[in-house]
Structure 1
Amino acid sequence: MSSSQQVQEYTTSEVTNNLTQEVNKFYIKEYKRLGHGAFGVVSKAYMVNLDKHNAKMKQHQENKSSDNGPETDWEGPFAVKRVLAQTEYKSRELAILKVTNHPNLIKLYYYFIDYVLTKDKSSTNSTVPGYSKQLYLHLCMECLPQTLMHEIVKYNKLQKIIPTFHIKAYSYQLLKAMSYLHSTNICHRDIKPSNVLIDPDNLILKICDFGSAKQLDNYPSIAYICSRFYRAPELILGKSQYHVNIDNWSIGCVIGEMLLGKIVFQGADPILQLREISKLLGPPDKRFVFLSNPSYDGPLFSEKLFSGSVKERFQSVFRCLDDEDGIDLLMGLLCYDPDKRLSCLDAMCSPWFDDLKHKDSYEGIPLPKDLFEFTEYDRLVLGEARLAKLTI
């Protein structure tokens, strides 16, 4: 649906307020498609609480006022995500959104389940031929202007790179959000630029799309998860008993993509993805391969494809990074061994982010004010040593 497509308007009876758990009837106007994929669609929308509006109208009539009546209280804009209901994969997203609360995670305001007419040539629906009714879950979330992917593409078309200060602001917020998420053992499992929302006018970042997210336990999970270009090497090898640090690899890929203006590892298929990784990190060692998946029998790309050390290779690829701190941060995140991979908490403390502590704006663009503000829960998770490093 383009922005010029016809507006969709509908009324639904049981919309739940995620904060108060109140259930009300709402009128909803969707007027722009923001995204679509296998998961469903996301549209920009405004909403009216009809129960509250009708109560105001009744009060107005009882008072016999001579004016035109109360104005309609529109709420929004919201990003309304519509996904098929009654599946474990989809309900898990709602469960996570209901319990998470962080300034750098997308906020859920309302949710409801309703029937939607969808195209179906085999349908025998006599009311609307060629369509069938399906039950959909609707998640009404806060709406930001664009994704990080759009920002990368925009600068790429201009043959420029996102300003380093912007990259630092976005990267820090990404790590801060994931530190919170990982402290609850929730793994996002699909961090990539299109799942990161931003507002370039104030450098705000929020993570969205929790359709693949899961609170990990001691049981195996599916290894074929996360978009290929951002998939941790242990997942490529078939590891099923993994931890939240698969997200940390994805974060390293996203930071690297902002710095290069292009995808860091772009393999033509899942196995060739490992070869692309080896071009930067060198061949994976046999111990890592065995611990990831003892039964792996695919290619190991054991021949080194570059001369010099891995650090020199990082410095060569990421020439735009003129300081050791940035290189060390990337090398810490883009590390084969998940046990040695830099945690989000430690990555937040990288000296590479020190610039953010001493400025409140960059070339007229204000920095978010809460970058170095922490709740009591944050402080508990961070610990005294990390807090000392993050103290302004």
Structure 2
Amino acid sequence: MSSSSQQQQVQEYTTSQVTNNATQEVNKFYIKEYKRLGQGAFGVVSKAYMVNIDKHNANLKKNQTDVDGNVSTDWEGPFAVKRVLAQTEYKSRELDILKVTSHPNIIKLEYFFTDYVLSKDKANPNGVNSGVPGYSKNLYLHLCMECLPQTLQHEITKHTKVQTTIPIFKVKAYAYQLLKGMSYLHNTNICHRDIKPSNVLIDPETLLLKVCDFGSAKQLDNYPSISYICSRFYRAPELILGKTQYAVNIDNWSIGCVIGEMLLGKTIFQGNDPILQLREISKLLGPPDKRFVFLSNPGYDGPLFSEKLFSGSVRDRFESVFKNLKNDFAGVELLMGLLCYDPDQRMSCLDAMCSDWFSELKHVESVKEFKLPKDLFEFTEYDRLVLGEERLKKLTE
């Protein structure tokens, strides 16, 4: 049983029912959590190393030793261990999705287990159910995933502090991988529903990118879903209007916001509340069309921000805001395709991957000190089937 004390730098505990996601083997593990990587509304993430105690004891019986005669302790990791309250009423949607996803640009689930955790609780001075005054004991699900050095948010912030933006070549490498990973999810109708820079992991040395945090993700069906989803600054306009019968392309809007943020060095749309968020969007895209508003939510009776707030065309406005895309037709086309009011007209991840904006990545292995991941334009048979001949030709020619 572990403690969730934030002051404690290292937490050590043993748990007996750890499932290997690849083999489904269940073993006893010793776990050492070194530091807190992040914390949100749904749980905490810590960096950890693990030892398979059953395997270690088997080696002890076989007298398997290292060169110094010591029994070898096979540490595994580092892992990013996400701890969230176990939902006893229904299965964890996040766990179900991570169990079956396998893609180089999607975070990989290595192990998972449930265990009781002591956490501070001022409302429980007598320690009811825990035996420790001021603490409660609750059952938590632990997801042990691969660990990358930092988030895309850290990379953006690092450049902003020195008044620069991420080099265009790196933006393209990250954007392409984000689209590639999300197209894989969307092909199975899995909608992430919270794409933002802090939910995208990167390795700035190798330019590898992986999508993480599937706490809001859902495999969409024909039934309504909640519209109050996705962090506000990255929320698609149809969600702001209250649309409940939406598709995976709400993620594509968020992806456009992330790409734009990498280019600008700051969040594109920063409304102080959900409705004012729509006003911020209208400053770039112009007023939303009344037909779009009606189809999103016939009952919407909020402000429409129908007055145009800029002169010239929407394309002119994009070029004015994203100054580093001036005279970059393909880059502007990509952003305008993703940041589109009408979800039916919004560019798909598959089509966005084929944008001429990414052509540079196909013909070089590196630019200056930036070296690209080797598998950017490698595709499985399933990928090839989904892409289709025309897209595949464009990506591999």
Q: TM-score, normalised by structure 2?
A: 0.95
Q: Amino acid of the residue matched to residue 137 of structure 1?
A: L
Unmatched tracts of structure 1, length 5 or more: none
The aligned counterpart of 1:365 is 370
Q: How many Å apart are 1:70 and its aligned residue? A: 1.9
Aligned to 2:380, which of 375, 378, 381?
375
Q: Write the distance in 2 (CA, Å) between the matches of 1:362 and 1:3.
A: 42
1:7-18 alignment to 2 at 5 Å?
7-18=10-21
Partner in structure 2 of residue 272 of structure 1: 276
Corresponding position of 1:211: 215
Q: Is 1:324 aligned with 2:325?
A: no
Q: Which amino acid aligns with 1:347?
A: A
Shifted more, 313-322 versus 350-359: the winner is 313-322
CA gap of 1:33–1:89, structure 2 versus 1, over 3 A, is farther
- Match status 1:86 vs 2:87: yes
> Given the alignment of the two structures, is residue 102 of structure 1 paired with residue 103 of structure 2, yes or no?
yes
1:19 and 2:27 matched: no
Pairing 1:339–2:344 present: yes
What is the CA-CA distance between 1:133 and the residue it aligns to?
0.7
Which structure 2 residues correspond to residues 98-247 of structure 1 after superposition, within 5 A?
98-123=99-124, 124-125=126-127, 127-247=131-251
- In the aligned structure 1, how far is the partner of 2:91 from the partner of 2:240? 24
Letter in 1 for 2:144: C
Residue 55 of structure 1, aligned match among 34, 55, 58: 58
Moved more, 96-105 or 363-372: 363-372
How big is the shift at 1:66?
11
The change in CA–CA distance for 1:353 and 1:3 in structure 2 (over 3 A counts) is farther
Find out whether 1:305 has 2:309 as its counterpart: yes
**How much does 1:67 deviate?**
5.7
Contact 2:107 2:145 in 1 (8 A): yes
> Helix, strand or coil: the match of 1:320?
helix
In the TM superposition, residue 69 of structure 1 has moved relative to its aligned partner by 2.8
Give CA deviations for 1:206-265 in whole Å, capped at 9, x if unaligned: 000000000000000000000000000000000000000000000000000000000000
Q: Which runs of 4+ in 1 moved over 4 A?
A: 1-5, 87-90
Aligned-residue CA RMSD (Å):
1.8
Aligned 8 A contact 2:5 2:119 in 1 = no
User: What do the CA deviations read for 1:72-96 (whole angstroms, capped 9, x no partner)?
Assistant: 1000000000000025687000000
Find the aligned partners of 1:312 and 1:67 in 2 and give their Cα distance: 70
Contact 2:105 2:181 in 1 (8 A): yes
Q: 1:83 touches 1:90 (CA, 8 Å); kept in 2? A: no
Residue identity in the other structure for 1:153: T
Q: 1:362: how far off?
A: 2.0
Paired amino acid for 2:346: R
- Whether 1:43 and 2:76 are equivalent positions in the alignment is no
Distance apart, 1:59 and its partner CA: 1.4
Q: How does 1:280-291 map to 2 (within 5 A)?
A: 280-291=284-295
**Hey, what's the Cα distance between the residues in 2 that align with 1:87 and 1:184?**
26
Amino acid at match of 2:135: Y
CA change 1:386–1:67 in 2 (3 A) is closer
Q: Is the 8 A contact 2:5 2:120 kept in 1?
A: no
For 1:102 and 1:89, the matched residues in 2 are separated by 26
- State the TM-score, normalized to the length of structure 1: 0.97
Deviation of the 1:366 alpha carbon = 1.5
Deviations for 1:147-173, whole angstroms, at most 9, x for unmatched residues? 000000000001001000000000000
Q: Work out whether residues 238 and 296 of structure 1, in 8 Å CA contact, stay in contact via their aligned partners in 2.
A: yes
Gaps of 5+ in 2: none
Query: How many positions carry a matched residue from both structures?
Result: 390
**Aligned pair 1:74/2:75, yes or no?**
yes
Q: Any conservation in 2 of the 1:196–1:207 contact (CA below 8 Å)?
A: yes
Identity %: 79
